[in-house]
Structure 1
């Protein structure tokens, strides 16, 4: 019994699948226009059409410039120049002047620049001395501990295996530093004395008054247009948001204030360094002219704020200056703190294009049809009379011959009422009688037309049939 049911379901599924598959090639669908008088639905339709029309015209066509061909493949070149004189106060109540060649390290970079705002220096000689007291791995009580300890990546040189105790003082000429720790420190061979990371760096004064000249040359290859961020008659100026918008010269104070709003954070950035992004965004309307195209400057801080206590704070690096004196190697180790500016250029250009306008107009027409689509969903599926509306909207037309319409398969009488059964039976009987009558009439007519008569030939025909008998 179960196998028969499964077989019937399988057969039914196959019939439905075959009917649906062949329906793709034998059924044609065409929209049917149905006029429905509904005040609420009409108001909803017109309201949605008005909203879509306003959105399409004001935003997509005008604001987004849907009538223009866009080019975002911008080619850019940036050159940075810094001017300004800084100074620091020395321990001997003197003043040390620092100019551009001192605080721009390295002299040239690609789309970036580093401005040193503070630094620390250590004069060193290649020799032997005790390790830094900040390195806990270097603490020792005897020479054996220095010989058996593994190498530390934080070491300032190669350990010799000797432990320098505090009681030894300045042991020999080769040991130039003296530890104040209660324990001894391992001796190393390298650059002495070791750098003191706990010392506060010297802050360069007047750093915020330095000026940065940003020269930017761009090209939009699709339109073969070149431009720059400088006016033709550029004069000495400083950028101001209201007074000098076209000036490409910025003070470092303005850049830092735009990138960081907290005064305490700005002070720490000058002392410990930081990273700032400088972005130039071009939005050019070539229909108005290339000379009216101006970049928009934005500044943002990229490094982690100090208030979040990051693992590595600020931005710094070390570099050394070497020389020789009396056959001894000397160097000045400088740990530089400062602001690293990274330049990013982006942009787009647009120009009227009829093909782009026609394509976008076609897309807007499709968007405009969303109003009818949503109203159809409400009408055919969510309204109270959805079943009635579906009967009028969806109609199936079968292409049949007259004979097929006569021999139409009678419906299943088990699914309808008794009155309807009698009506259908009478209709079916009358159709059967009609067919039988048509068949009998056709048979009688065929019999009448097929009656036999004797064949009579004329004399001329006989002569044509038997000419040799003459």
Structure 2
């Protein structure tokens, strides 16, 4: 009975780590060096660089409006934004035409299929299945095998817009003057968590209209200007502008807002980055182009001019991060820093007991084994006493309160 009472009463014992002063200069230098590294890490990186004292938001609400500006002389024609910019109303995606392949005066009718289309070549009508539609073809086969325009070979006749594009398309020269076209990107951002909005680029300029008509973006001198030359965008994306004129391409415009809301929000400015988005390894699918048509009536018959346009497509992608002081993350980060200093004690204890304590002098003084004062048979050691001793040893090893001094007698 007295043994059971010992178990019960031992549960309510208070346990405290033992503080031992070790006068060893080497161990003391290691201890202070590790302390210095831990404290420096938390002060410089966690609090100053990462601003761990702030609450943050990484999903802002954003609005993007784009507009292309510039004119160019193309042969006998003057091209303005209506001619080369798509879409005209702007948005987070805008493209400009750099080169065109035009097929004039197409009309609904029957004509020879292009010879590169699968199963289009023939010698007799039996080679052409009437009503068959080829996935890569231009229309429905009529069942006739006809001469391919002014050539000597024949292909299957199809019902489609004639003449077919690949045969009659006229390739126009590239619009090299587009290198000086400018793209106006207006971006407004809002952080609903902090109820901070209407952060606009170029918001600190007085005469806004005059400023926007003259400025061009420069990372150092004009970081708020939202006007970008196409040549500058291609250069920042490490692309050759002449090659883009030939094949077209998709370029991402990445706008990143990193805002410290502990200061005036007007000091929050965007940073821009540019990168090619379409895959260039696959030459068959690389580049960017699209088709559109201009319809009209010719002698009472509906006709069209088909245009295959190659150009640069800009995808505007907005990211944002805002931070503001908050007591909760400040307390959590401070407690984490203070607790992490305890790792210095664990490291030095391990060094002391593993490499320095050759004669087990430290371990004898560090760990005390005290016998239970209860009446317990010596042949049946108290389970609670053993558990109690193991717990004390574990806590002593892992305690953050153990201090170490420099020097050894």
Global fold match (TM > 0.5):
yes
Q: How does 1:316-327 map to 2 (within 5 A)?
A: 316-327=289-300
Q: 1:33 to 1:133 in 2, by over 3 A?
A: same
The CA distance in 1 between the partners of 2:99 and 2:380, in whole Å, is: 101
Question: 1:353: how far off?
Answer: 2.5
The answer on 1:35 being equivalent to 2:8 is: no
- Which residue of structure 2 aligns with residue 98 of structure 1? 79
1:145 is displaced (CA, Å) by: 0.5
Q: Find 2:200's aligned residue among 215, 221, 228.
A: 228
Q: 1:319: Cα distance to partner?
A: 1.5
Q: 2:368 & 2:45 partners in 1: Cα distance?
A: 40
* Separation in 2, partners of 1:355, 1:309: 51
Q: What is the CA deviation profile of residues 442-467 of structure 1, one whole-angstrom value per residue up to 9, with x for unaligned ones?
A: xxxxxxxxxxxxxxxxxxxxxxxxxx
> What are the equivalent positions in structure 2 for 1:153-164 lying under 5 Å apart?
153-164=135-146
Q: 1:314 is matched with which residue: 276, 279, 287?
A: 287
Structure 1 portions without partners, runs of 5+: 1-21, 90-94, 167-177, 412-470
* Structural mapping, 1:120-139, within 5 Å: 120-123=101-104, 124-139=106-121
Q: Distance in 2 between matches of 1:366 and 1:199?
A: 74
How many residues align? The count is: 364
C-alpha change, 1:148 and 1:384, in structure 2 (3 Å) is farther
Distance 2:351 2:138 in 1: 79
Matched, 1:195 2:165: yes
- Provide the alpha-carbon RMSD of the alignment: 2.7
Instruction: Tell me the CA shift for residue 258 of structure 1.
Output: 0.4
What is the 5 A alignment of 1:21-60?
Answer: 30-60=16-46
Decide whether aligned partners of structure 1 residues 200 and 40 sit closer, same or farther in structure 2, where only a CA change above 3 A counts: farther
Structure 1 or 2: larger strand share?
2
Per-residue CA deviations over 1:237-295 (Å, capped at 9, x if unaligned) read 112233322211111111111012x5xx3311122111111111111122221111111
Question: Could you tell me which residue of structure 1 aligns to residue 337 of structure 2?
Answer: 364
Matches of 1:25 and 1:339, distance apart in 2: 76
1:319/1:333 contact within 8 Å kept: yes
Contact kept, 8 Å, 1:379 with 1:386, in 2: the verdict is: no
Q: Please give the alpha-carbon distance, in whole angstroms, between the structure 2 residues aligned to 1:267 and 1:134.
A: 28
Aligned partner of 2:5 in structure 1 is none
Q: Determine the structure 2 residue equivalent to 1:184.
A: 154
| Distance (whole Å) between structure 1 residues aligned to residue 130 and residue 111 of structure 2 | 19
Consecutive unaligned residues of structure 2, counting only runs of 5 or more, are 1-7, 382-409
Which structure has more relative contact order (CA 8 Å, sep 6+)? It is 2
CA deviations on 1:166-219 (whole Å, 9 max, x unpaired) are 6xxxxxxxxxxx142x43111111100011288645312411111111111111
Could you state the TM-score of these two structures normalised by the residue count of structure 1?
A: 0.71
Rate the CA distance shift 1:49–1:145 in 2: closer, same or farther, 3 A. same
Provide the rounded CA distance (Å) in 2 between the counterparts of 1:28 and 1:111. Answer: 66
1:341-378 CA distance string (max 9 Å, x none): 11111122222233332221111112222222222233
> Which residue is 2:404 aligned to?
none
Residue 215 of structure 1: aligned partner:
186
Is 1:300 the counterpart of 2:278? The answer is no
Greater fraction helix: 1
CA contact 1:130–1:179 (8 Å) conserved in 2: no
TM-superposition CA deviations, 1:137-186 (whole Å, max 9, x none)? 211110001128964211111110100136xxxxxxxxxxx142x43111
Match runs of 1:245-324 below 5 Å = 245-260=223-238, 262=239, 265-305=240-280, 308-324=281-297
Question: Structure 1's 204 and 382: CA in aligned 2 closer, same or farther, altered over 3 A?
Answer: same
Q: Using a 3 Å threshold, how does the CA distance of structure 1 residues 386 and 372 change in structure 2: closer, same or farther?
A: farther
